[in-house]
Amino acid sequence: MAEMKTRDEVSYRKITFFIALTLFAQESTWNFYDNQVPVLLREHVTSAALVGVLMGMDNLLGIFIQPWIGNRSDNTRTRWGRRIPYLAVGMPLGALLFLLLPWTTSLVTLVAVMVCYALVANTMRPLAEALTPDFVAPQRRGRTNAVVKIATSLTIIVASLISLLVVDDHPRGAFVIPAAIMLVVTVVMIVKVRDSRSRAYRAAVAEDATAGPGETKSPLWRVVAELVTSRDRRRVLLLLTVFLFGGAWFASRSLMTPYGMEVLGLSRGEAGGLTLPSGVAYLIAAYPAALAAERFGRLRVILIGIVVFAGALAAGAVVRTPTGTVVLFCLAAMGAAGFLINAAVALWNLAPSSRMLGAYTGLYAVTWYLGGFAGPALVGAAVDLVGWSWMLLDIAVLAMLAAVVVIRLARLQQARETTPAPAR
């Protein structure tokens, strides 16, 4: 028995490493793309608004692509599994398109390559993320997700270092480094990982064997229809929480520079650095947030995290000093880790079937991005009404709405757990 546990632990650690490595490679190109492609655009256009629109195009495409590819992979059956075949083709193709970006000579060709890269990259992201619920048992998914989040956060540092050390001397050659990382990781994934061996894939195949005619595949519309019409409202409430907290999180990131300038009297550069220490605090809190969820319950940790986030920002609305704001933002980021590490895991664990894990990964991403679009706009409107001084309180109120939804969700969960199963 002890030997079996040891073997399972080794397998768990290996697959966690490979999933984290895959997403690290993908996010390395994404972050470098965000750092350097605006500069390429500025060689052709002078409008900052147009640059912003073109840079935001990838998120818009992701809203449509990620649920679709997640669902398509759910319905794929090969000897390599259902995610790896797409990753084996898509990651090298994404690396090639990424390499072409600095070699474009006109706005038309640059935008064309950007669109193609965004299509491929958005296709790969949910497939890599869905490997976590494919391979990892529900009770351990939080730990894996924490490691993955830490790995992807580190790519911000990698992209910054490449920009700092390489770009000035080799503006085109710098693009080779993230692309090479992606190609090497693709080879490692092809050699080491077969998701046909995952527990979720085997469960999906077993479900296929017992399904009736026309039920072996679940189109995306059917997944969404089941989600919306089901009497079990927990998944809808969880997605609503993702939308609300996503809005609060993105607002706290995207509006901090003008807040620091308007309220704290900082320069543009000083205000832009306000959230840097909180990024470190988030990394420190990520893995403990997963462990806490295993011990105390995932919804409880999510709720506590949201309340800590909201409380810290509400306090920041009163403190209004640079040092106090930085300290409170670190506390808010540690609270946010309770949500960011565990929310996707909670949704995976509520999925009604192993055949829907990819689609649910995509639906989570869509809801998160929609919150990221609506939240800053909503908070910005509140700032227009009451001023910059109360911006952090506005964000805290939005976060507390998410907390209210989680309380309702927790009550539904508790009622479901205490309701006796019907007699057969």
- Enumerate domains of the chain plus CATH numbers: 2-208 (1.20.1250.20), 220-418 (1.20.1250.20)
| Predicted local confidence at residue 101, as pLDDT | 93
pLDDT at 215 over 70: no
Q: Average pLDDT over the chain, rounded to whole?
A: 88
The mean per-residue pLDDT over the stretch 44-52 comes to 77
The mean per-residue pLDDT over the stretch 192-211 comes to 85
- For residue 215 the two structure tokens come to 């039920």
CA distances from 144 to 22, 286, 418 (A): 13, 11, 29
Q: Are 14 and 131 in contact (CB under 8 A)?
A: no
- For residue 302 the two structure tokens come to 């999510």
Note the pLDDT tens digit of each residue in 254-311.
788 888 888 888 887 788 778 778 888 999 999 999 999 999 999 999 999 999 999 9
Confidence label for 10 from pLDDT (cuts 50, 70 and 90): low
Q: Are 165 and 294 in contact (CB under 8 A)?
A: no
As a whole number of angstroms, the distance between CA 129 and CA 142 comes to 12
pLDDT at 121 over 80: yes
H/E/C letters for each residue in the chain? CHHHHHHHHHHHHHHHHHHHHHHHHHHHHHHHHHHHHHHHHHCCCCCHHHHHHHHHHHHHHHHHHHHHHHHHHHCCCCCCCCCHHHHHHHHHHHHHHHHHHHHCCCHHHHHHHHHHHHHHHHHHHHHHHHHHHHHCCHHHHHHHHHHHHHHHHHHHHHHHHHHHHHHCCCCCHHHHHHHHHHHHHHHHHHHHCCHHHCHHHHHHHHHHHHCCCCCCCCCHHHHHHHHHHCCCCHHHHHHHHHHHHHHHHHHHHHCHHHHHHHCCCCCHHHHHCCCHHHHHHHHHHHHHHHHHHHHHCHHHHHHHHHHHHHHHHHHHHHHCCHHHHHHHHHHHHHHHHHHHHHHHHHHHHHCCCHHHHHHHHHHHHHHHHHHHHHHHHHHHHHHHHHCHHHHHHHHHHHHHHHHHHHHHHHHHHHHHHHCCCCCC
The mean per-residue pLDDT over the stretch 196-225 comes to 82
Angle at 151 between CA 282 and CA 159, to 5 degrees: 95
pLDDT at 146 over 90: yes
| Predicted local confidence at residue 51, as pLDDT | 81
Confidence label for 4 from pLDDT (cuts 50, 70 and 90): very low
| Predicted local confidence at residue 100, as pLDDT | 95
pLDDT at 8 over 80: no
| Predicted local confidence at residue 61, as pLDDT | 85
Query: How long, in residues, is the chain?
Result: 424
Note the pLDDT tens digit of each residue in 54-73.
877 777 888 889 999 999 99
| Predicted local confidence at residue 87, as pLDDT | 95
* Selection from 329, 330, 297 nearest residue 316 by Cα: 329
As a whole number of angstroms, the distance between CA 280 and CA 326 comes to 12
pLDDT at 5 over 60: no
Ranges 33-42, 213-222, 248-257, 320-329: which has the least confidence:
213-222
* Most confidently modeled range among 2-6, 209-213, 364-368: 364-368
pLDDT at 420 over 70: no
Looking at the chain, the whole-number percentage of residues with pLDDT higher than 90 is 51
Q: Tell me which of 198 and 396 has the higher pLDDT.
A: 396
As a whole number of angstroms, the distance between CA 70 and CA 22 comes to 16
As a whole number of angstroms, the distance between CA 337 and CA 351 comes to 22
CA distances from 340 to 142, 247, 347 (A): 10, 13, 12
What's the pTM? 0.87
The mean per-residue pLDDT over the stretch 314-341 comes to 93
Looking at the chain, the whole-number percentage of residues with pLDDT higher than 70 is 95
Q: Is 53 exposed, middle or buried (0-12, 13-18, 19+ CB in 10 A)?
A: exposed
- What radius of gyration, in Å, describes the C-alpha atoms of the chain? 22
As a whole number of angstroms, the distance between CA 77 and CA 198 comes to 12
Q: Are 99 and 175 in contact (CB under 8 A)?
A: yes
pLDDT at 347 over 90: yes
| Predicted local confidence at residue 261, as pLDDT | 86
As a whole number of angstroms, the distance between CA 142 and CA 299 comes to 12
Report the 10 Å Cβ neighbour count for 237.
19
| Predicted local confidence at residue 424, as pLDDT | 39
| Predicted local confidence at residue 9, as pLDDT | 61
| Predicted local confidence at residue 181, as pLDDT | 94
The mean per-residue pLDDT over the stretch 82-100 comes to 94
| Predicted local confidence at residue 42, as pLDDT | 84
As a whole number of angstroms, the distance between CA 192 and CA 124 comes to 18
